[in-house]
Each structure stands twice: as C-alpha cells, then as structure tokens.
Amino acid sequence: MIEQTGTSLYVSAGLFWKAFWALAFGYAFSSLIQVLVPREIIARHLGRSGVKETVLAMVLGPASSSCSFAALSAGRALFVKGAALTPMMAFLFGATNLSPQVAALAWIFLGWQFALAVVVGSIAHVLVMAVAVHLTYPKKMVERARQDASKIGHAGHGDPAEGLPRRWREKLTSRKTWRRIGATYFGEWHMVWKDLLFGFLVAGAVAVLVPDTVFQAVFPQVLTPVLLVVIHAFFGPVLALLTIIGSMGNGPLAAVLWENGVLFAGIIAFLYSDFVVIPSLRINATYYGWRFAASSPVDLQPLTSSQ
C-alpha cells in the first residue's frame, strides 16, 4: 500500500509538471487583463442582451479567470453593476470552458480534438442559453436575484483595476500597476491551488489505485452505440459532482477516464461540469438564493433556476 501511494503521488506530480507552463502563462495573461481593463467599462458594454453584448462577454470571459469559483464572483460583480443576464451567463461560459488554460489542459492530456470540442461546444452552449433566456425571460425573478446579489460583499478584494491611472501611458509606467498585476497573478494561484491539488491527487490515485473493472462497471462498454453515448454523457457530470473538482482540476482526471474507456461524450460532459459541483452551487445559492441555484443542469445554474 505504501508503494502504491508513492506511485500515486509520483503520477500526480508528473501530471502537474506537464500542465504547469500552460497554467503559468494563462494566469499571467488573465492578470494583465484584470488589472489593465476596469470592470466598470466591461459592465457598461454588457447592459443589453444583444448579439454584440453576448459575444463581447463570451470573449472577455477567458481573460477574467479560469477558476470557476472566481468566475462566479466576477459574474456576480458584472450582474450587480448592470450586466444583462444573457451576457453575464456568456461571461461565465467564456471564463471557464473557453479559457486558454482549460483548452491547453485538454490538448495536453487528451488531444487537440478535445480542445476543439471544448471551444466549439462552449459556443453552442452560449447559443442555446441565449435562445432559452430570450424565450423564457422572467424579469421580476432576475431583478430580485440582482438585488439579492448586490447585498453580498465581493468574495475577492475588489476590482483589481480600481484606483489606477486612467491613461495607458501612466498606467503602464506606474509601479502600483505592476504590483497589482503581481498580486493578482498570485491571487489567481491562491484561488485555484486547492482545486488543482485535489484534482491532480485524485487523478494520480485513480490512475494507480482504481482497477479497470470499476470503470467498466460505471461506464459500460457493451451496449448499443446510442445508449452508450447517453449513459457516458450522463455519468460524466455525476462523476464531476462527486469529485468536487472545478475547471482547472478536472483535466488530468479526464485523461485517466479516457485511458480507461470512457467515451468522447462522457469526457466532454465531465469537462463541462465545473459549475454543478457542490461548492459552485453553494456560491450561487449565497449570491442569488437556493431557488436560483437548486435546479441547475450542467453549466446553466442562473438560467434554469430563474425560469
């Protein structure tokens, strides 16, 4: 048992080292955007549920943070400052599933096909979400949720861009700006290190300690192709819920699942499930109330709960 534990830790360390550089560069880019672009300016351009605003929010999401928990906090800040529901939801999709770090982990551990699927599927998610919100928009419920969210103090340390010079030349030459960038960069790591540690430790333990028969029992391989896809896609989010891993911790475990026969659909469903883990649901309930968060399918908490 001691030897297996050591092997598990060795595998976990190897998986982390393989992904470290993608994470480091991704967080550096995210920190630059967070500090150099004031959140008020972003919110000012997201007040309508139009195509332009939705696309802008989806593009800005990856620059905010790749941590699903931090994305929920940033999304709440935008929502309170006047961002419409559809752009706010698009921001959440972009901040996690469209994050360069998440795509890089998918490419590193699974292959370019999975990275492409994460990106294309995220865009499809935004399209479906936008249509659903347009058809079922509950104005009173949304405004009540906005009022509830405004009563909650920001979970972080405020807007990283607040208090900095407005002009770009002064901002880029200010020592305060670069100190803020450094603090934000380490803050990004601080927000996700437990998630990453747990994810890589679980991935190493599963790779070494869990026999193939367990995966074959949970993810059957002998049914009809259509039924196999449905079952694997269903159990992907269930597994994500049980492991309590966010967007930056599920990449290495997804690689272990792939090596043990889980289908492409199950892997993608697992990668998309960072917003249905228990901590995410708890955060959403704190912001908007349990009614707003309880009936949440994969990556659609505010949407489905407000309908």
DSSP string, 137-154: --HHHHHHHHHHHHTSPP
Binning the chain into helix, strand and coil, the percentages to the nearest 5 are 75, 0, 25
37-26-179 Cα angle (round to 5): 50
DSSP string, 249-302: THHHHHHHHHHTT--HHHHHHHHGGGGSSHHHHHHHHHHH-HHHHTT--TT-HH
Q: What is the rounded distance in angstroms from the CA atom of residue 34 to the CA atom of residue 78? A: 13
Query: Nearest CA to 280 among 252, 240, 307?
Result: 240
Query: Nearest CA to 275 among 82, 45, 7, 61?
Result: 61
**279 class by beta-carbon count within 10 Å (0-12 exposed, 13-18 middle, 19+ buried):** middle
Q: Does the pLDDT of residue 264 top 80, yes or no?
A: yes
Give the model's pLDDT for residue 67: 62
Highest-confidence segment of 32-36, 124-128, 140-144: 124-128
Mean pLDDT of 105-126: 86
Query: Over the stretch 147-176, which tens digit does the pLDDT of each residue have?
Result: 777 776 444 456 677 788 878 888 888 888
Tokens of 191: 């927000």
Mean pLDDT of 253-266: 83
The residue behind tokens 């196999």 is: 228
Q: For residues 246 and 277, is the Cβ–Cβ distance under 8 A? A: yes
Residues 6+ apart with CB under 8 A from 34: 63, 64, 65, 160, 161, 184
Give the model's pLDDT for residue 154: 42
The sign of the torsion formed by the CA atoms of 283, 288, 291, 292 equals negative
Q: Does the pLDDT of residue 275 top 80, yes or no?
A: no
Q: Does the pLDDT of residue 307 top 50, yes or no?
A: no
The residue behind tokens 């889980």 is: 262
Query: Nearest CA to 274 among 200, 201, 199, 189?
Result: 199
* pLDDT more than 70, % of the chain: 72
Highest-confidence segment of 65-74, 83-92, 194-203: 83-92
Query: Over the stretch 185-225, which tens digit does the pLDDT of each residue have?
Result: 887 777 667 767 776 787 778 777 777 677 777 777 777 88
- Which helix (H) or strand (E) segment holds residue 32: the answer is helix 2-36
